Structure 1
């Protein structure tokens, strides 16, 4: 990767870190999307880099906020995420290219519909969902992570529909994605698939990530609870459209 591309990549990571700190998600999705659009680097190496960068973001975003976390919800979702990631990877290996494309297309339609319907009615549920519901969202999140590298939509939808304070939602999502990232980093290290070049890029990006995370903590955008929920569901709609377009492109091509 050229020096210019590294600088662009770090700038995108910094902006995505700000967004993730105020919403609880988006770091990997934004960077992966920009990387693909601008052809900055192979997606596989960027996925590993994002796992390391996520740790820097959470290490700066979570101190002093842990008391806001609904640990039962986070624990239930995490129990669903971790084993289903493996199932997702194995499922993808057994699917043909055509079947995978159809599945991704259907996924995009579901995510788009869910984001649109929630954005039109952003008010949270009257009562907190049960732990089983969080576990199921974690299972689907893990399956999507294993199959398409996209664990966010089910978890984002689940938590942003709850009658929780925004700070509770943000911190819960950051913790879950941090656990997933740490698991990936440890697995890559165990396999010897953690190149020095990725570690150097992560070290260069870490100060920018921490500065932008601190900026988001102290200078968040002046958005109401309803506006923030609409923003989250709007991002889900963008993800859904992206999945649909990618699937159609692969199926037609």
Structure 2
């Protein structure tokens, strides 16, 4: 890779650094921020960015999770993972099967649901009084896996569900980072089998490595001083922005 190519990738690397810090603090956001920013500012093809996000997510998880394993709600993570594993593949196959119009309609519905859920949750950011059963985590994993397979965005269902539980923010953050690592592993394996990991992609991942490493370690040592309610509201406002972006993007494609 030439020096000119490295310079051209700097805006994307800055976006990756910010998104990595955000995800390390909140437990989510890396994929949504990078994909939305890359699409909105035309930094790189969305398909290649989605693969890069998967590789970067694995790096972030490997740096953010050590020392926190005892804080993870393994029962919830196990139930969600059982839903994620088969549904990611199903989402990829479903997206390949649908034509452009049907895909845009699903994209529009996704944006509307995320927008509605984000607004409702931001208005009432307090968690539930009782922890949900395993079935709820399982179905959040199914819907998260489907969205990951179809659009490369697995966050909304998992974020909604985990942030509504009476868990500590550290428990929520660690569980989400681990689940996104599971999703990224499946997508990376699928991309490798499909021959979608060229040498240029590995070069981009190598350039992103120091950026992601610094952002992750900095976030672990210097998290922002936010209260639990403020952090939850920040999570839901982020979903509102994502839902609005998805809705506008789908409407633009349809028109």
Moved more, 55-64 or 30-39: 30-39
CA contact (8 A) 2:36 2:245 kept: no
1-structure distance, mates of 2:60, 2:109:
32
For structure 2, list consecutive stretches of 5 or more residues without a partner in the other structure: none
Of residues 94, 113, 118, the one that matches 1:115 is 118
* Number of aligned residue pairs: 252
Residue 86 of structure 1 deviates from its aligned partner by: 1.9
Matches within 5 A, 1:24-63: 24-63=27-66
Alpha-carbon spacing, 1:244–1:180, altered in 2? closer, same or farther (3 Å): same
TM-score after normalising by structure 2? 0.94
Secondary structure, aligned partner of 1:184: helix
Could you tell me which residue of structure 2 aligns to residue 238 of structure 1? 241
2-structure distance, mates of 1:106, 1:39:
24
2-structure distance, mates of 1:37, 1:104:
16
1-structure distance, mates of 2:154, 2:102:
20
Could you tell me which residue of structure 1 aligns to residue 88 of structure 2? 85
The CA RMSD over aligned residues, in Å, is 1.4
Could you tell me which residue of structure 1 aligns to residue 73 of structure 2? 70
2-structure distance, mates of 1:180, 1:99:
24
Of residues 190, 195, 210, the one that matches 2:198 is 195
For structure 1, list consecutive stretches of 5 or more residues without a partner in the other structure: none
1-structure distance, mates of 2:48, 2:65:
26
2-structure distance, mates of 1:99, 1:41:
25
Residue 225 of structure 1 deviates from its aligned partner by: 0.1
Matches within 5 A, 1:204-215: 204-215=207-218
Secondary structure, aligned partner of 1:2: helix
Moved more, 204-213 or 184-193: 184-193
Could you tell me which residue of structure 1 aligns to residue 155 of structure 2? 152
Matches within 5 A, 1:135-174: 135-174=138-177
2-structure distance, mates of 1:184, 1:93:
14
Secondary structure, aligned partner of 1:189: helix
Moved more, 41-50 or 158-167: 41-50
- Per-residue CA shift, 1:151-182, capped at 9, x if unaligned? 11000000000000000000000000001112
Residue 43 of structure 1 deviates from its aligned partner by: 1.4
2-structure distance, mates of 1:92, 1:13:
26
Residue 148 of structure 1 deviates from its aligned partner by: 1.7
Alpha-carbon spacing, 1:52–1:94, altered in 2? closer, same or farther (3 Å): closer
Residue 187 of structure 1 deviates from its aligned partner by: 2.7
Residue 2 of structure 1 deviates from its aligned partner by: 3.2
